[in-house]
Structure 1
Amino acid sequence: MAVLFKLQDFEGPLDLLLYLIDKNKMNIYDIEISSITDQYMTYLDEAEEVELDQMSDFIVMAATLLYIKSRMLLPKHPKPGEEVEEDPREELVRKLLEYKKVKYVSEKLNACQGESSQYCFRNKPAEIDIPESTIDYDAILENVSLKLLYDTFEQLMKQKEWEQHTKEERKIDHNILKKDTYTIEQKSIYIRNLIALEGKTTFFTICKKEMPKIELIVTFMALLELIHKKEVTVLQEEPTGDIVIKGGIVDEEDRA
């Protein structure tokens, strides 16, 4: 499927998702998450390089979609006495609806501004001020692009899908998924502890291929959050080597 738009054509990942939902004539309240995730990943795979802070938002959404897709694999009928879990798409739908409303209002305001250009705000309302990102991704991602980080993760996920092809393996994965013991906070603590003990860790140390798929996704999301908070720095010491993860901004001596 040829991609007709660039990521720069979209205001963000929610904008891209709304486009895909409209294009496929899906009900926003009942998103076909598997199809949407596959199409979204295609856009990222074929995307040209964009600003790092913008790319990070798209990658976080990709991890979120993969997480939801994995949750959707859970058995739909709980056993007697078990609580019925909420639809894993619920939070995403809420964000999409909020974004759709904001986009609609924004388009109306732009139209009104064009028709009545003589009217204007004396000062922009404080509540719509959007602070610029102060994250220096060039410093945090020493010689590793977010695209490379994402591609490494996606390659690992594809390998997992290839390995988990028997019914017995899928059954085991479902049992692990059902426990739902993985959280971003727990994985963030895990990564911090590894760095505190060893001074650094690596991508394939925290994302082992024998991990359940959902654990890999949550771990990757935790890593992205730590990068966003500037708590870790990632670099590749050798061109084809593992991605190294260190605490904070790398010192000049470490870069040498």
Structure 2
Amino acid sequence: MTSVPPTAQEQSGFVVELEQFSGPLDLLLHLIHEDEVDITDLPIAKIADQFLAVINDLGLNQAADYLEMAARLLRIKAQMLLPRRLGDDEWEDPRAELVRRLLEYQQIRELVEWLGAAAARRAEQFGRGFAPEPPAAPPAPLMVDLNDLLAAAERVIALIPEPVLHRVVPRPLDVEGATARIEGLLAERASFGWRDIVGVHPTLVDVLSAFIALLELAKRGALRVDQEGPFTPIQIHREPAREAR
């Protein structure tokens, strides 16, 4: 593991391990959690200074994605210092877009961690001495690395074009609506696919809402999620306890 030299520790008050970050959004979330600040009301000046100190000491000041985020933070910091005119109802918080991306990334990260934990639990469900017959054509095991998934999620978010608007009004997640759709499908079928939930051309909000709804229903024991291998379709199955009701 690579640690921050003493100079960065004196400036930011913590030690950073390079391997634990999959990108600039991941590093920003780490700084926010370390400082225990509200993600929706970021102290942008402090976070920007810490971010610059960390990427400088880790030698990341030549990486394009980290430099782009550093420039964004400095621009927001400068905008926050501009005087706000009295009675200006059209003023837009320059942190709004960054906060939206951080919240989306945090939800995806929590989902990936839950899926990893669920896979580990399923791997331990057979007791000692139990030797089930292998299937005729066993599916390839799904090898998932948390950092790879987080990096892929960040790349997907980065590809979403930013709307050219004077004011950004993020669309809220519709977890209740997604839950209702999934429960309706569970009532009709014993199993169904991911596309049955989100459709053919889902938005990012639709995908996040459906993932969170699946997470909650799986925690209740209403369903289980399977995937035979990498990039294969996700299948949702009604749990036997639900069928018996």
- Pairwise same-fold verdict (TM > 0.5): no
* TM-score, length-scaled by structure 2: 0.44
Question: Which structure's relative contact order is higher, taking Cα pairs within 8 Å and 6+ residues apart?
Answer: 1
* TM-score, length-scaled by structure 1: 0.42
Which of structures 1 and 2 has the bigger CA Rg?
2
